[in-house]
């Protein structure tokens, strides 16, 4: 049975919870629909995070990214929604989500949203 898109990210226990280290994940095949024109939008989503108790299982992230493909979202909404979901489900110490969206009408858009756990 083929995989299906999903809105859930699977947390995996952090193998080094005593150490602060950075993980960078680049997803260069992001697609969604422009909510105004209905045309496809393409971009690269980059997650940079310092794990807390969990790391993100990558297949679940792939299926999560896929879940946006047929939905209409503004670039700002996509980036902030991904930050919110990742924080809620993976519980990182720090997280930066950057959406670098391909040219549309001669305009590139880059949106960055950040989170830092309160000490």
What CATH number does residue 99 fall under? 3.30.1130.10
Higher pLDDT, 31 or 3: 31
Query: Does the pLDDT at position 93 exceed 90?
Result: yes
pLDDT per residue as tens digits for the range 17-33: 999 999 999 999 999 99
Active site residues per annotation: 34, 41
How far lies 54's CA from each of 5, 12, 91, in Å?
A: 22, 5, 7
Alpha helices in 3-117 (DSSP H): 58-66, 75-90
- Within a domain: 107: yes
| pLDDT score for 66 | 96
Burial 16-54 (b: 16+ CB within 10 A, else e): eeeeeeeeeeebeebebbeeeeeeebebebbbbbbbbeb
Domain count, the chain: 1
- Within a domain: 59: yes
Residue 105 dihedral angles phi and psi, to the nearest 5°: 65, 30
| pLDDT score for 29 | 96
- Within a domain: 71: yes
Helix (H, G, I), strand (E, B), or coil: what is residue 7? coil
| pLDDT, average across residues 57-80 | 96
Please provide the average confidence, as pLDDT, over all residues in the chain: 95
Query: Does the pLDDT at position 68 exceed 80?
Result: yes
Domain of 96? Answer: 15-116
- Within a domain: 9: no
- Within a domain: 6: no
Overall residue count recorded for the chain in this entry: 119
């Amino acid at each position: 049975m083929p995989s299906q898109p999903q809105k859930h990210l699977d947390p995996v226990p952090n193998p080094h919870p005593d150490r602060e280290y950075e993980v960078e994940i680049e997803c260069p095949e992001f697609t969604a629909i422009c909510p105004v024109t209905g045309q496809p939008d393409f971009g690269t989503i980059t997650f940079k995070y310092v794990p807390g108790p969990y790391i993100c299982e990558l297949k679940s992230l792939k299926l999560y990214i896929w879940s946006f493909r047929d939905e209409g979202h503004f670039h700002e909404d996509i980036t902030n929604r991904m930050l919110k979901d990742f924080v809620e489900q993976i519980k990182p110490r720090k997280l930066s989500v950057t959406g670098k969206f391909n040219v549309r009408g001669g305009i590139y858009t880059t949106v960055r949203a950040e989170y830092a756990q309160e000490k």
